[in-house]
Amino acid sequence: MKKIFIFISFVIFYSKSYAQTIPSIEPIFANSSDKIKGKLEYLASPYATAGDRLYMVGYQDGTFPDLGWHVQGEMGGVWCHPIKLMDGFEAEVKVNNQKYILSKADVFENYPFGNKLIYNSLSKDFTIQRLQFVPDGKNAVYVEFLIKNLSKKALNIELEIKGISNLMPVWLGERTQMFDGKDEAVFDNKKNLWMIKDQKNPWYLVYGSAIKGSAFGNEEILKHKPNVSITKTKYSLRILANGKGILPIVIAGSSKSENEAYRNFQDVSQNILNLAKAKKSRLEKVNELSKVTLSDKEIEEGFRWIKYDTDWLIRDVEGQGRGLCAGLPDYPWWFGVDNEYTLKGLIATGRKDLVYSTIDLIHSLSEKTNGNGRIVHEVSTNGAVFNPGNINETPQFASLIWEVFCWTGDKAFLNKYFSTIEKGLDWLLKENDKDGNLLPDGFGMMEIHGMNSEMIDVAVYTQKAFADAAQMAEVLGKITLAAAFKDKAEKLKLKINSDFWVEKSNSYADFIGSKGQALHLIEDAIVRADTLNKPWAVEELRKSKVEIEKETIDKNRGFVMHHNWVVNTPMEMGIADSEKALKALNTAQKFTNPYGMFVTGIDRDETAGAAEGSFVTNRKIFTYTGAVMTLPTGVQAVAENNYGRPDEAYSLLKRMLKSFSFALPGSIYEVSPDFGMFAQAWNMYAFGEPIIKQFFGIKPLAYLKTINISPLLPGKLTNGKIENVEIGDNAISLSFIQTAGTDTFEINQKKEWKVNFSQPMGKYAKWILNGKEISPKALNGKEIVELDGLRNKLVLVK
């Protein structure tokens, strides 16, 4: 009997004397409404098939070149942290004795839950699709080769899979006694799979198929990688005219035992359809929380995919914890500050579970490493700490805890971390503020050599931390402590607006330091600008150097030098005086290009305002010099909104979205438009903060069962809504319609909490609530009305 029967998602085919009913995941992909097709010119660039326990990184053309710089050439392939399993695999097919190598896919499609690669130019007789995804909670990836016979005759198919194992430790593995050994491979004929073990460690890779295969020729070696193992397997299929056949491959692993690796292999092999459906369904539910619908479909789609992208970055490592990594492919481990930004946006999207587990992970690693409240900067997935913490990360942790508490109202959560916040703020000033002026010394976000004096971002985030800690202390009944924290916050706010402000530059200073420090840094900055061929910056810096050299009094003061993005943090945190803020925001606009804000302003040139195109061109080494990044741009959007400039904030979001799907469909690169990490966690802050908390204006105090709403709408957003915004045990939805004469808002909530709706004083001539004209109360330059019940409609007449 030689027939192919297709039953919904099952393909029955025959391999010599071997018959097997194999479920296909093609219908699950076909039924997905969210997919984005990649660009032909970016097929030779990376993507991820992502999961929380394992992920696979390769090129969109289906190949697995050596890529990445953190561990040179090793950041791609299949990773099951804290170990790597494979460099990847190669495939070729022989159809009626004609050989075809699957070395370049014609089409790459990205889905929230997986990927599809299409080979449709090999032959007029057939096409091949490669469908793949990583099931939730499994140390395994599923890869399906789906072959469609387009001819009117049967095809005899021989498909050869070449696997390149590379069982090796993660970055910093040597610090926890993880040392690479030679991979030893054995084909188990009975189980029809390869079992590969690292000679020195209990690290295992298992891969194989439900289709009977035959192993051959595994004597090949790679001279530059002597520890890897090359394994080859042949599979034979016969596909009738206009029929289909599939080869399912499961790749699984373990850093503990052979049994665990094989169990993962079996679990996935035997439950593939249910696992695929479950992952697709879960990611659809991710979007249903804080679901945004906008008249601007570009922002709507971009934000939806940022939710998916964030999910790709979950690293769940046994013995360490579960939390968001910074980015792929080179930062697949955990960072303090990256999460301190990211989680502020994420908590507003309903991902409380992920926010909590990430905070718990960063906190436990910090306590284990430092024990004094200092928050770690960078930790590999084996628990090895590379950097115990830059100065800004400790105060930013305090503000993160307060923000999350405002959204959840969980007092046990606040109690759990408050002692660490107390210790951290004490460490911050006792150990890092030698002159006692409340301005800690040390590195902040700008890791430029020598920039470790009194940095603007460290000062700003320290001020915000004391202000937030004062509110936390008050909630916990620590009134005296609250007063002390509040006093420090008020003094710091005054210092930042006086000592850091440089009037002639209409900007806050990069740092406060001595004449000697400034001259040393300015020499380095001139070399940098000259090397990058930025004549305007060289001229400005040389002029500043002359002025500094003429100074007769060597007194510490603020210096504007690099025009680093961090000079905008006083506006991001809303502590800048309004007059200064508007001047500084206008100054910052000089340091943009079509994609957003420069990390370092002196890297800008005369073409920056209009130049578009790849950042990768002619870059032989990895460097952030000259970069425009999403974090500085997101910070600037938040800053613009804080001072009533939503149109400017909207423009910055649109700039960032020029990078959306530029190289990887569905993603925004770390460095715009196509450099660095192809998936970056802090994009959630760059979009979640301005969209949910500022455009829609949702700012809860869940512990008081109060939701403050103060929409700040860009003129170009004519209508929109956000649904199922989880706040404590409540949920709220909000919609708006802007017209020439009125703005209409509808606000619904699940439980009857206090809802305060406010707008700037005098913006509207008439307020109509649920059909009745009302008079709002005036408070602090705003007009406020308290809404009643579960459903409200507010019409504001201009």
| Contact of 736 with 713, CB cutoff 8 Å | yes
Determine the 3-state secondary structure of 486 from DSSP. helix
Q: Give the pair of three-digit tokens for residue 433.
A: 């503020």
pLDDT band per the 50, 70, 90 thresholds, residue 631: very high
Determine the 3-state secondary structure of 50 from DSSP. coil
Q: For the chain, what percent of residues have pLDDT higher than 90? A: 86
pLDDT band per the 50, 70, 90 thresholds, residue 528: confident
pLDDT band per the 50, 70, 90 thresholds, residue 269: very high
Average pLDDT over residues 729-750: 98
Average pLDDT over residues 359-373: 98
Report pLDDT for 746: 98
Pick from 327, 336, 318, 329: nearest CA to 381:
318
For 550, residues 6+ apart whose C-beta sits below 8 A from its C-beta are none
Of residues 527 and 291, the one with the higher pLDDT is 291
Is 565 exposed, middle or buried (CB count within 10 Å of its CB: 0-12, 13-18, 19+)? buried
At residue 384, what are phi and psi to the nearest 5 degrees?
-75, 130
pLDDT band per the 50, 70, 90 thresholds, residue 224: confident
Instruction: Write out pLDDT tens, residues 179-212.
Output: 999 999 999 999 999 999 999 999 999 999 999 9
Q: What's the half-sphere exposure (Cβ side, CA atoms, 13 Å) at 777?
A: 8
pLDDT band per the 50, 70, 90 thresholds, residue 794: very high
| Contact of 173 with 200, CB cutoff 8 Å | no
Report pLDDT for 9: 39
Average pLDDT over residues 361-369: 98
The mean predicted confidence, pLDDT, of the chain is 94
pLDDT reading at 17 higher than 60:
no
Report pLDDT for 1: 33
Beta strands in 547-652 (DSSP E): 557-559, 592-593, 596-597
Q: Which amino acid is at 545?
A: K
Report pLDDT for 12: 40
Of residues 555 and 300, the one with the higher pLDDT is 300
Predicted structure pTM score: 0.95
Instruction: Write out pLDDT tens, residues 547-577.
Output: 988 888 888 999 999 999 999 999 999 999 9
Report pLDDT for 623: 72
First to last CA, the chain: 77
Q: Give the pair of three-digit tokens for residue 158.
A: 């021989």
Instruction: Write out pLDDT tens, residues 71-111.
Output: 999 999 999 999 999 999 999 999 988 999 999 999 999 99
pLDDT band per the 50, 70, 90 thresholds, residue 451: confident
Average pLDDT over residues 629-655: 98
Rounded Cα–Cα distance for residues 328 and 312 (Å): 9
Beta strands in 519-613 (DSSP E): 557-559, 592-593, 596-597
Which residue's entry shows tokens 């970069």?
627
Neighbours of 528 (CB within 10 A): 20
What proportions of the chain, in percent to the nearest 5, are helix, strand and coil? 35, 30, 35
Q: Which segment of 593-607, 618-632, 784-798 scores lowest on mean pLDDT?
A: 618-632
pLDDT reading at 10 higher than 50:
no
Which residue's entry shows tokens 């080859």?
232
Instruction: Write out pLDDT tens, residues 372-406.
Output: 999 999 999 999 999 999 999 999 999 999 999 99
Angle at 200 (CA atoms; ends 196, 201), nearest 5 degrees = 70
pLDDT reading at 425 higher than 90:
yes
Which residue's entry shows tokens 């984005």?
36
Report pLDDT for 448: 77
pLDDT reading at 619 higher than 70:
no
Instruction: Write out pLDDT tens, residues 248-261.
Output: 999 999 999 999 99
Q: What's the half-sphere exposure (Cβ side, CA atoms, 13 Å) at 218?
A: 23
Rounded Cα–Cα distance for residues 3 and 13 (Å): 7
Average pLDDT over residues 587-607: 89
Alpha carbon dihedral 24, 25, 26, 27, in 10-degree steps, equals 100
Rounded Cα–Cα distance for residues 172 and 506 (Å): 44
pLDDT band per the 50, 70, 90 thresholds, residue 608: low
Pick from 728, 747, 748, 756: nearest CA to 348:
728
Pick from 484, 476, 474, 472: nearest CA to 398:
472
CA 433 to chain centre: 33
Report pLDDT for 609: 54
Q: Give the pair of three-digit tokens for residue 681.
A: 């966690």
Instruction: Write out pLDDT tens, residues 327-339.
Output: 999 999 999 999 9
Q: Give the pair of three-digit tokens for residue 114.
A: 């997986």
pLDDT reading at 520 higher than 60:
yes
| Contact of 657 with 306, CB cutoff 8 Å | no
| Contact of 93 with 157, CB cutoff 8 Å | yes
DSSP for 360-397 reads HHHHHHHHHHT-SSPPPSEE-TTS-EEES--TTHHHHH
Instruction: Write out pLDDT tens, residues 144-161.
Output: 999 999 999 999 999 999
Average pLDDT over residues 702-706: 98
Report pLDDT for 13: 42
Average pLDDT over residues 316-324: 98
Average pLDDT over residues 611-639: 80
